[in-house]
Every structure is written in C-alpha cells, then in structure tokens.
Amino acid sequence: MSTAAISPDKSFGRTLKEWIFTIDHKRIGVLYLIGSLAAFAVAGLMAMLIRIELGSVGPTITNPNTYNTWLYFHGAAMILAFQIPALTGFLANYLVPLMIGAKDMAFPRLNALSLWLFWAGIIVALLTFVIPDSPDIMWTGYPPYSLRTGGNTALYVFTVHLMGFSSIVGGINLITTIMYMRAPGMTWRKLNIFVWSTLGAFILQLIFIPVLAAAVTMLLFDKYIGTHFFDPSAGGDVLLYQNLFWFYSHPAVYVILLPTMGMIFEITATFAKNRVFNYKMVVYGGIGGVVLLSGEVWIHHLFTSGMPDWIRMGMMVSTLMISIPVGLLMIGLIGTLYRAAIEYTTPMLYAVGFIFLFLIGGLTGIPNAMTAIDLAIHDTHFVVGHFHYVMAVSTTFAIFGSVYYLFPKMTGKMYNETLGKLGFLISFIGVNITFFTMMVVGIKGMPRRYFDYQQFAHLEGLHHIVTIGAFIIGIGAAVVLISWIHGLVAGRKAVDNPWSSKSVEWMTKTPPPPGNFHPIPRLSEDWHPYGYGN
Ligand code: HEM
Ligand SMILES: [Cu+2]
C-alpha cells in the first residue's frame, strides 16, 4: 500500500519529477555526484570484504569465485563508475559553466542524455549482484580468461559501452561549452586551471574511448559470436587486447589526474590567497604536456609480456618522460603555496593530503617504470599499493575535498569544520597504514589478485595490519558521510562567497538560481580568477 495514496505529498512528487527531467547543469552535476558516491559505497564495501578475506591465511569468509566477483566490482566500479563520473560528470558539469560565466552547458538536453546513460551503466553494473553468472574478469577483462569463464563477460562489455557513450556525449558538450559559452572578458588566458584540465581530460576521452569500446566489443564477438580476434590458435592475437585496452586505460589515468589536479589548484589558490604560480607553465607545460605524452606510454603495462627490447626500452623512456609535465604541475602547486598565509579549512587539508599521497605514489611509480625492476614487482601487492597512492586514494581525497569546497555553493549551507577535519584525519591515517603496508607485503612477494596465500603464510601479520587500516578508512569515510548529512540537515546558512574567492562561480547567488547569472557577468580587463595580488 503506497503511503502516497494516504497522504499525497504533492510538492515532493513535483520536485522529484523536476530532478528526473532536469536539464539544469547543476542538478545534473549533483545527480552524477549521487550516482558516483553510491558506486563508491558499494565498491568500498567490496574492498572491506576483500580485506577481511585476506586478513588471515586460508579461506576466511568466501570462495575464490566470489572473491573474483568482489574484486571485479571493486576495480571496475571505482574507476568507471566512481572516479571518472565524479570528476568529468559531477565536477565538470557543476563547475565549468559557473566558472566561465555561462548560463548552462551548450547542449542541456544532451547533458541529460549523458547523465542517464551513466545511471543506466550504474544499474547494469549493479546487476552483477543479482544475476547467477556474475562477471569475474577484473576491471581489465583480459582474454583468454574472459572468453573461457562461465561468468557473464557481456555485462562488463555493456557497462563499459554505457559509461563510454555517456562520456563521449559529455565530452562533446563540454568542449563546445568551453569554446563558445565564455562570458565577455573571459579570455583563454584567464580560464581557471580546472577548466583547462577538464578540457584536456575530455580531449583524451574523445580520442581514446573509441579504442576501448572497440576492444571490449571484439571481446563480446569472440565470446558470443565465435570470432577469433584474440585466439592465437585461429590466427588471432591475445596480446592485441592488452594493447588496445591499455591504449585507452593509460590515458584514462590522466583523464582522472587532470581534473583532480585542476581542483587541487582551485582549492590551493583559494585558501593560500595566492596567484597560481607560473600559470602558463602549468597550462601549456603541465596540462598540455600530459595530453601530448599520454598516448605513447601504454606498453609499460605489458613490460612482462613478450616484445622486442627496443620497444621496451623506448616505452621505459617515454614513461619516465611523463614525470616532466607532472613535475611542472607539482612545481606550480608548491609555488602557489610558497609564502602564503594558508587557511587550513577541511578542503585545504584534503588538498595538502593529496599532495603528500600523490608524491608517495609518484615516487613509487619510478621503480615500476624501470623495466629491470618491474620484472620483479609486476603483479605483486607493491603495484596495488602504488596505484592506490597515486590514483585511487589521492584522487578520492581530491574529490572529497572538492565536495567540501563546493558544499556551501551546492547546498546553501555550511558543513561543520570539526566533523570535516575529523573525517579527514581518520581517513588519512587509515590510507597510509593500509597502502604503505600493502607495498611492503608486495615487496616480500605477495602476488596481486590472489584469494589466498598459503605459500606466503609468514605474511599474515602484515596482512592483519592492512586489514585493520582498511577498517580505519571505512570509519573515516563514514564520518565524512555523516558530516555531509549533518551539514545538509543542520548546517548554518552559507553566504554567497564564503571563501572570498575571486573566481566567477562565487559571484552568483548561493545556491545559484536556474540560469546561474542574472545578468551574465562582464569581466573587466584587470580581473583574474587568481588575482589575489600576491
Ligand atoms: C576504500 C579503500 C580501499 C581499499 C581498502 C582497497 C583495497 C584493494 C585491494 C586489497 C585490492 C587488491 C586485491 C587483490 O589484488 O587481490 C584492490 C584492487 C583495486 N582497487 Fe582498491 N581499495 C580501496 C579503494 C580504491 C579506490 C578509491 C579505487 C579507485 C580507483 C580503487 C581501485 C582499485 C583497482 C582498479 C584495483 C585492481 C583490481 C584488479 O586487480 O583488477 N580502490 N583494492
Ligand atoms: Cu599506464
């Protein structure tokens, strides 16, 4: 019996309808945020289960097949359904039109289409838990296993298709918006770093997603229609898949890194009240350099597969070369902090946390790039620890920090600083315990993607520590969630520009009305998003 029939709450029904049929970029952004946080929650739960299983030697709570499904869901959902949509869906949608002084995206209806394609992807991904033959092929879907398994490889392929279409549609929309919808006076040289980095990320998406879509479609055909693209016994090539997959998925880490860095720049400049150090170097050298180099390093994921030495050497050098533009971005960040009177609000703590985690992740990436060392550590927990530092956790910190940063703008209310800082502190301690120890376990020989480690029973003590760390992260994440709910329900009213930022998104009302600016702002000659006079 529906309660609505007894007490019809018309206004709730109407608002719900308004949200579902919305073409307002801000609401679309928020709906992206909700979807990606839901994916984060479920994928995070999987991480906890994985860690309980690995907490002690021998089967602990499950069997190898279920373990594989958990790990599949954890990796695929964290990347495809949480990080990429939170950055290029939520943040790009919510912020870019506001930052460039536009009234909406260039194609608002198309925007709604990309949102609902994303949600369809989330729902297909969640079907993993209700169908009998859940996929168990990890987020990479390598053949031959993905072709021979009894698991449902098609579900993985369709999830990738939906997320990919969503991103392509969103990319076309955003690039057009940035090109044609800027407010009078918003010249290219005055674009926020976040806008530049989003532009870079979407250029990468448009170039490389079709390659991934092709690769997984070939997988689908091989498994269900009987083609032999990846079957050497019938003239196919099994490494072809790995090449196609990483041809997209390495650039994808920059699709994640660029907007992440962009937000860290925004937060840092705001709370340091400093200009962005060497803006041109950051934009052309840092963001431009990453976009340019991102397509020629993918082989580093195949270092241990058979290949001629000259390719391996070349890819080692180009991989190491990526540290140059990334280094420029870091120099820009540190320079922005230099001699600043930094205000350590919750978003700023996350930004500083990001810098620390990203540095550890970056430095532990160098040994991976050296082929001679990588042969020994490839596919161990060292690599798992490394990429969680450099991408998984650091970016999650940037996303959480950005939610706090935008919380007043989005909700019209302030979050509670004490709760916010507490959540940060617990999470920060948790991730370092977890992922540092994970790297140590890896150097001692623990392979990745193993359900059990009878042959490495002496590592059990360290595995305990990793699992305890994971639970601390879980508590931290819960405090973060509580602080958001608390802010929503009980937060005090926010003023229009609580951080005294110069950037355009804070010039409008809080929360911004439909159409954002009335009238559209005209930016003067001497205005600059980081014009703090330092
Ligand atoms: C919440 C804290 C997290 C914990 C405790 C955790 C734990 C783990 C563990 C233990 C593994 C490897 C298990 C194995 O190799 O058998 C793993 C794999 C992975 N994690 Fe996480 N993780 C967390 C957050 C994240 C986030 C935020 C991302 C976002 C990108 C992420 C992405 C991945 C990926 C891509 C894999 C590889 C899966 C595969 O091998 O196919 N994780 N995680
Ligand atoms: Cu890579």
Tens digit of pLDDT at every position of the chain (534 positions): 344 444 445 677 788 999 999 999 999 999 999 999 999 999 999 999 999 999 999 999 999 999 999 999 999 999 999 999 999 999 999 999 999 999 999 999 999 999 999 999 999 999 999 999 999 999 999 999 999 999 999 999 999 999 999 999 999 999 999 999 999 999 999 999 999 999 999 999 999 999 999 999 999 999 999 999 999 999 999 999 999 999 999 999 999 999 999 999 999 999 999 999 999 999 999 999 999 999 989 999 998 887 888 998 998 999 999 999 999 999 999 999 998 999 999 999 999 999 999 999 999 999 998 888 998 999 999 999 999 999 999 999 999 999 999 999 999 999 999 999 999 999 999 999 999 999 999 999 999 999 999 999 999 999 999 999 999 999 999 999 999 999 999 999 999 999 999 999 999 999 999 999 999 999 999 999 999 976
Asked if residue 494 has its Cβ within 6 Å of ligand 1, the reply is no
> What letter represents residue 476's amino acid?
G
Here the tokens at position 323 are 């540290």
Closest CA to ligand 1's atom 16: 449
Q: What is the DSSP string of 101-130?
A: T-SS-S-HHHHHHHHHHHHHHHHHHHGGGT
Which residues, 6 or more positions from 230, have their beta carbon under 8 angstroms from its beta carbon?
Answer: 143, 144, 147, 218, 219, 222, 236, 237, 238, 240, 241
The one-letter code for the residue type at 119 is W
Amino acid 305: pLDDT: 84
Query: Using an 8 Å Cβ cutoff, are 36 and 81 in contact?
Result: yes
Ligand with minimal distance to 246 CA: 2
Scan for tokens 């004490």, then name that residue. Answer: 418
Helix axes 25-54, 64-76, angle to 10 degrees: 150
Please give the pLDDT value at position 304: 86
Query: How far is residue 115 from each of residues 407, 489, 532, measured CA to CA in Å?
Result: 21, 26, 36
CA dihedral over 163, 266, 96, 420, signed as positive or negative = positive
Q: Which residues pair with 487 in a beta bridge?
A: none
Q: 515: CA distance to ligand 2 center in Å? A: 40
CB 423 within 8 A of CB 480: yes
Q: Is the CB of 83 under 6 A from ligand 1?
A: yes
Tell whether pTM > 0.85.
yes
- Which residue bears the tokens 């509670």? 416
* CA of residue 449 to ligand 1 center, whole Å: 10
The protein residue whose alpha carbon is closest to atom 34 in ligand 1 is: 75
Alpha carbon distance 353, 349 (integer Å): 6
The residue whose C-alpha atom lies closest to atom 41 belonging to ligand 1 is 138
To 10 degrees, the CA torsion angle through 44, 47, 48, 51? Answer: -160
Write the residue with the smallest CA distance to atom 13 of ligand 1.
449
Q: Which of 45, 49, 73, 74 to mutate to test the pocket of ligand 1 (most atoms within 8 A of CB)?
A: 74
> What integer pLDDT is reported at residue 6 of this predicted model?
43
User: 380 - beta bridge partners?
Assistant: 447
pLDDT of residue 308: 87
Q: How far apart are CA 512 and CA 29, in angstroms?
A: 13
